[in-house]
A = this chain, B = another copy of it.
């Protein structure tokens, strides 16, 4: 009975080198005050010059780029296989002419890491979304040939105008044709203004706890409303963080669509695939939600055969020294155990069987 982690990130060496070479967000900064440690700054709000440089972003160490630490983390937490993916910000920030080559280099780097740990590691590839669409499609076709690749990770910006942009259609078509799943993952959060004037008093809590899942919810709802799944009926998307808040809000989304005068006048209420159909046919959810309350809603929305365990490693390490098992991981294990306390088989499906089947792992 394997345990499979499908939400676990890596910055392969080529990507770390790229971030170290930069001086604006996203970048890795080594402060003169702390020459032996570096900080990863990926959100614009984290680079406020009024914040001490030792409090910007988060510390970055080998847990981000050393694959041996990934394997050790897996061993500590009884994880048999991991499907690793580049973390945000991916390559969205690169100039068009650099993105295609960077994606090839980084995907090959990740493929190499997987091959070094045969049977333990698979991966989602990274697309050069700032490059011309043909370059993106070419990379999708190349990824299909790489032995350990099982889809692609993608942020919410798409080609810069969101995932409801019709210009993405050739990319969706290629992903659907090759049965490549999109792991949809947030990055940009929400504008800092929504958190109010005291947001900095609360550390990173508001953008991390709320900005990320709300961003995901908006992105997937825009995809739904633009008819992506009416045009690409077999396009599969794995939503990070149990869908952001989609399972909870699906009823309200459907109700608002059915009551919208503009959509009715345009004849767009009938004939479309509704949110429940898409949730149960095209959407997969991770189980990274830290509570059985949310997890049960995710199960109810998409089905216990569509959820997959994840950790979000290396994010959310314990703050205490000398803690062996990460609290963030045990919270997600605990949520699964609690939600399925009367159905061990379903618990095992979420822990690993679903991922083995859906992602065709061996």
A→B interface (CB under 8 Å): 55, 58, 161-162, 164-165, 190-191, 193-198, 201-206, 208-210, 213-215, 217-218, 221-222, 225-226, 241-242, 245, 247-264, 289-294, 296-297, 300-301, 316-319, 327-328, 331, 335
Question: Which chain B residues border A264 with CB–CB below 8 Å?
Answer: 319
Question: Which one, B257, B297, B301, B318, contacts A205 given CB within 8 A?
Answer: B257
Q: How far is the CA of A319 from the CA of B209 in the complex (A)?
A: 36
Contact B300 A263 (CB under 8 A): no
CA distance A248 to B248 in the complex (A): 6
**Assembled-state Cα–Cα distance A297/B292 (Å):** 9
Please determine whether A196 and B300 come into contact, CB atoms closer than 8 angstroms: no
CB distance from A250 to the nearest CB of B (A): 6
Whether A259 and B164, one on each chain, are in contact in the complex, defined by CB atoms closer than 8 angstroms, is no
Say yes or no: A196 contacts B293, CB within 8 Å.
no
Q: Find out whether the CB atom of B263 lies under 8 angstroms from the CB atom of A196.
A: no
* Chain B residues, Cβ within 8 Å of A225: 201-202, 205-206
Q: Pick the residue among B205, B221, B251 that contacts A335 (CB under 8 A).
A: B251
22 contacts between A and B (CB under 8 A): A161-B197, A194-B215, A195-B222, A201-B225, A203-B262, A204-B262, A205-B260, A206-B225, A209-B221, A209-B257, A213-B249, A245-B248, A247-B248, A250-B293, A252-B289, A255-B290, A255-B327, A259-B316, A259-B317, A259-B319, A259-B327, A297-B297
- Closest beta carbon of chain B to A282's beta carbon, Å: 17
Of the residues B202, B213, B300, B301, contact of A252 by C-beta under 8 Å: B213
Nearest to A214 among chain B residues (CB) is B214
The binding surface of chain A is classed by DSSP as helix
Nearest Cβ on chain B to A340's Cβ, whole angstroms: 14
Which residue of B198, B254, B289 is within 8 Å of A290 (Cβ)?
B254
CB distance from A288 to the nearest CB of B (A): 8
- A198 to B263, Cβ gap below 8 A? no
The 6 nearest A-B residue pairs measured at CB: A251-B291, A203-B262, A251-B290, A248-B248, A209-B256, A203-B260
User: Are the C-beta atoms of A261 and B319 separated by less than 8 Å?
Assistant: yes
In the complex the two chains form, is A164's CB within 8 Å of B196's CB?
Answer: yes
Report yes or no: A331 in contact with B255, Cβ–Cβ below 8 A.
yes
Q: Determine how close the nearest CB of chain B comes to the CB of A58; give it in whole angstroms.
A: 8
CB distance from A252 to the nearest CB of B (A): 5
CB-defined contacts of A161 to chain B, threshold 8 Å: 196-197
Name A320's closest neighbour in chain B (CB-CB): B264
CA A52 – CA B263 in complex, angstroms? 16
